[in-house]
Chain A
Amino acid sequence: DAGITQSPRHKVTETGTPVTLRCHQTENHRYMYWYRQDPGHGLRLIHYSYGVKDTDKGEVSDGYSVSRSKTEDFLLTLESATSSQTSVYFCAISPTGIGETQYFGPGTRLLVL
């Protein structure tokens, strides 16, 4: 796992509570991505960042926000968690965008009750 950590690795929370997931990289890569993985859907992009304070929406961004105040950290926030956000969340990084190779973190398993 190319210098990428995610925290927490597992979380159980209740509907309506805010949740923040953290992705930290030591590779100094410019691009960072948040995906969710669900059975039958594969990986779907939530948000991505192309630099500090520069972010954009992905395919399934509703209910999620992101922030990137430092190159190494990319935060994903569920403002008010819902059961449909129960999923495995993966962070990925890449040195360049334009669809180049991505390196994935170990994932965070989130259960919303």
Chain B
Amino acid sequence: SQQGEEDPQALSIQEGENATMNCSYKTSINNLQWYRQNSGRGLVHLILIRSNEREKHSGRLRVTLDTSKKSSSLLITASRAADTASYFCATAQGGSEKLVFGKGMKLTVNP
């Protein structure tokens, strides 16, 4: 069963704009991860944030985690056409060796 749920399900923006994606989840977690999937390809890990962290940066990516609201957001700054992809959040629940993925959201960056 899905743990994380991405919102919005689809987002279309212009190149250079910022893109914000949200993920909500239901149970307590050890960490939350974001992955990207280009059309026809496998998933690529973007960033992992642990339950005791509130914010993390990696290049143009900024992830926040609010465990009290059971939500996370992924911000991509200065988007590029190459950022066009599907994005998934995945949560790791306490003691589990498994990740539970959301259904994903589609980002389109128009040149």
Interface residues of A (CB under 8 A from B): 1, 4, 31, 33, 35, 40-45, 48, 50, 58-59, 90, 92, 97-107
Contact = CB atoms under 8 A, between A and B. Distances in A.
Contact of A42 (B92, B95, B101): B101
Contacts of A98: 30, 92, 95-97
A26 B30 CA distance: 28
Interface of B: 1-2, 30-31, 33, 35, 40-45, 48, 88, 91-93, 95-104
B45 A102 contact: yes
A107 B88 contact: no
A45 B43 contact: no
Contacts of A48: 97-98
Given A42-B101, A42-B103, A101 B45 contact: yes
Given A45-B100, A99-B92, A104-B43, 7 more contacts: A35-B101, A97-B98, A99-B96, A101-B45, A102-B45, A104-B42, A104-B44
B45 A103 contact: yes
Give the secondary structure class of B's interface.
Answer: strand
A99 B28 CA distance: 13
Nearest to A98: B97
A90 B43 contact: yes
A90 B42 contact: yes
Given A43-B88, A104-B42, A99 B103 contact: no
Most buried by A among B1, B2, B99, B104: B99
